[in-house]
Amino acid sequence: MNLDELRKTARAIVAEGKGILAADESFPTIKKRFDTIGVESTEETRRAYREMLFTTKGVSEFVSGVILFDETIRQSAGDGTPFPKLLEQQGIIPGIKVDKGAKALALCPGEKVTEGLDGLRERLEEYRGLGARFAKWRAVIAIGDGIPSETCIETNAHALARYAALCQEQGLVPIVEPEVLMDGDHTIERCYEVTFAVLRRVFADLADQRVEYEGMLLKPNMVLPGKDCPRQATPEEVAEATIRCFRHVVPAAVPGVLFLSGGQSDVQATLNLNAMNAMGSHPWEISFSYGRALQAPALRAWAGRPENVPAAQRAYSHRARMNSLARRGKYRPEMEEEAA
């Protein structure tokens, strides 16, 4: 493990004004996205869509890295340039999703554990050879009656820590993603309690597995009420609860926190990110690693038609620029009126 290299890559990913495009949708997820625009999900349509995103000119001003899927990291642009090389040519760092998905956790109804540790060392070695410089592993924690259980939290935290250690061994920056889901009618206070418990356990296990905090990044949920909660929170309330929670449990040695959007609308995710950065300086860089919240307008504009690529790229660039401004606490809703 070259800790200096890991630190350098981690800091580059959370460079000022920049964040990550999560383009690592699994086959079922991207099929759902394509279904909304009436496009069949095939290897070629997925490749064409990702090429549209990856060839958007000037987006490297706002996007530091892209998380790829196993299929995508092996694909190439129309001119034959492999996607990882295409990204690197623009100054964007290629990354890779390495988990095998969340599966039902035995004897824990309603809860899941992320699988994929078997053979991970060899997969990481291959991905690094294909151009990846960081990786991502997502754990999902649901809030409901009697859940999450300690078993669920402990099992997922241990898997995240083992994954992170293997990444650093192979020279890849691990992005650790423990997502407390928005599904449900729970309050923001309940989300705070669960997020606190999850992060505390995750960082304890990371320490046990000898993971170097300076060479990793955190991709968590924001502290939010459930999407069915009668009382939703303002961006200022989300920012206050999230930062207060994280100051208690996230070590200052971690270079950056890249929030997931987790079901928020694209504008809401930007507003909440902006509110956190507008509070002032924090021990870590406060950034974004958005999938749908960066892609949704571009996907609608593209609609699977080659002639729509310029409009789709403008939509993607606009969304990336809005989140870049939010990275600095300088976003204002009226900026959305500008041409995408």
Q: Among all residues, which ones are annotated catalytic?
A: 177, 219
Query: H or E segment at 190?
Result: helix 188-208
Distance CA 256, CA 252 (A): 9
Say which DSSP state 76 is in. Answer: B
What region, left, alpha or beta, does residue 160 occupy, with left being phi > 0 and alpha being psi -120 to 50 degrees? alpha
Whether residue 82 has a cis bond before it, omega within 30° of 0 = no
Question: Is 271 buried (19+), middle (13-18) or exposed (0-12) by CB count in 10 A?
Answer: buried
Helix %, strand %, coil % of the chain (to 5): 50, 15, 35
Could you tell me the CA-to-CA distances from 123 to 52, 131, 135, 170 in Å, in that order? Answer: 27, 13, 11, 10
